[in-house]
């Protein structure tokens, strides 16, 4: 009798691997979609009476992703008009410079960020137009008072995964500019029985609340969201924009970390940074507020059903979004 090339133990291992792959794909396809609006604002100047941490532990998560901003993507394509452009699974834009002058190419599923996307769903993590911001009136009023400063305000759609599959979203582009913005860091959204928000945000400040002339070391710059790949250079050479330190060729998003260390580069223009690192359990359709002496976070998640997703997909393709519900 001819022996079976696959023994029973081998068949068992193969079956387990297939089951794991099917389970992961099924979990992604079952992730619930939400409309997310996030507003971060600065407030006050701080007080010397607060117990500020002298040198807070500031770091970007090793694995992360970015929101996809259509206007930013288009501007980068226009700047590198003869290069090929695509978006990877982490919201990073890859520009491939070629000597032959390749035409523009934009990735489609590369905007998915690891989520399973069907033709009836909009692009996940894609920033919506400003007209879709429910908090825009409140944000404008706060700005007019002179007591608050808008640091970040965006709205987007995304599937919210379980904690073990949820990637933190980096909200600044310091890894592209090589400069420190007022607000840096990331947020993470994940879903179990409840929705959960985890903030890892820090505010760079002039340190008016500090005595003397002491200043903390510069915090890290973020990972790059714009990667320039030069095919005329050594094969596989990848460089972030703005002459930042080069990550190793072929590094994944969890490896391409900004270090804030430059041989020649900008000087940290602030004296101190304060950290807002909180965890909040949330309910959908409710406005949640995280308070801090120097900044505040307002967030709302609205669940989306299949009909909503189909309409939003059409709006994305046409550019005509429906008016917000009152």
Which pLDDT belongs to residue 19? 45
Give the torsion through C-alpha atoms of 143, 146, 148, 154, to 10 deg: 20
Give the torsion through C-alpha atoms of 271, 144, 142, 202, to 10 deg: -20
Question: In sequence order, which residues have a C-beta less than 8 Å from that of residue 3 and are 6 or more positions away?
Answer: none
Model pLDDT for residues 249-298, shown as the tens digit of each residue = 333 344 444 444 445 668 999 999 999 999 999 999 999 999 999 999 99
Which pLDDT belongs to residue 231? 67
Confirm if 171 and 187 have CB atoms less than 8 A apart: yes
Q: Which of 68-72, 118-122, 204-208, 322-326 has the lowest mean pLDDT?
A: 322-326
Q: Which of 103-112, 116-125, 153-162 has the lowest mean pLDDT?
A: 103-112
pLDDT at 303 over 70: yes
Comparing 68 with 117, the larger pLDDT belongs to 68
Q: Which of 25-34, 212-221, 279-288 has the lowest mean pLDDT?
A: 25-34
pLDDT at 114 over 50: no
Comparing 317 with 107, the larger pLDDT belongs to 317
Task: Place 30 in a pLDDT band, splitting at 50, 70 and 90.
Answer: confident
Evaluate the CA torsion angle 102, 228, 178, 279 in order and state its sign. positive
Confirm if 169 and 154 have CB atoms less than 8 A apart: no
Q: Which of 179-193, 237-251, 261-275, 298-312 has the lowest mean pLDDT?
A: 237-251
């Amino acid at each position: 009798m001819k022996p079976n090339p696959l023994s029973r133990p081998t068949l068992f291992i193969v079956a387990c691997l297939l089951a794991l792959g099917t389970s992961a794909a099924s979990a992604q396809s079952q992730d619930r979609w939400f409309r997310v609006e996030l507003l971060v604002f600065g407030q006050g100047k701080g007080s010397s009476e607060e117990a500020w941490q002298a040198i807070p532990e500031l770091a970007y998560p090793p694995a992360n992703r970015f929101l996809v901003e259509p206007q930013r993507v288009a501007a980068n394509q226009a700047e590198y008009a003869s290069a090929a452009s695509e978006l990877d699974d982490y919201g990073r834009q890859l520009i491939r410079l070629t000597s032959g002058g390749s035409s523009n190419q934009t990735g489609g599923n590369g905007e998915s960020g690891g989520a399973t996307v069907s033709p009836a769903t909009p692009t996940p993590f894609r920033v919506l137009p400003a007209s879709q911001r429910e908090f825009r009136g409140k944000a404008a009023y706060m700005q007019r008072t002179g007591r608050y400063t808008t640091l970040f305000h965006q709205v987007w759609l995304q599937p919210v995964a379980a904690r073990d599959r949820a990637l933190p979203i980096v909200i600044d582009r310091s890894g592209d500019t090589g400069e420190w913005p007022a607000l840096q860091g990331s947020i993470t959204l994940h879903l179990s029985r409840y929705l959960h928000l985890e903030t890892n945000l820090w505010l760079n400040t002039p340190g008016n609340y500090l005595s003397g002339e002491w200043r903390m070391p510069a915090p890290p710059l973020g990972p790059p969201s714009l990667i320039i790949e030069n095919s005329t250079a050594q094969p596989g050479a990848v460089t972030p924009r703005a002459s930042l330190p080069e990550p190793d060729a072929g590094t994944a998003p969890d490896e391409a970390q900004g270090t804030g260390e430059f041989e020649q580069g900008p000087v940290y223009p602030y004296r101190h940074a304060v950290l807002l690192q909180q965890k909040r359990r949330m309910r959908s359709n409710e406005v949640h507020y995280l308070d801090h002496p120097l900044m505040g976070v307002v967030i709302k998640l609205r669940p989306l059903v299949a009909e909503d997703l189909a309409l939003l997909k059409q709006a994305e393709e046409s550019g005509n979004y429906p008016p917000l519900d009152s």
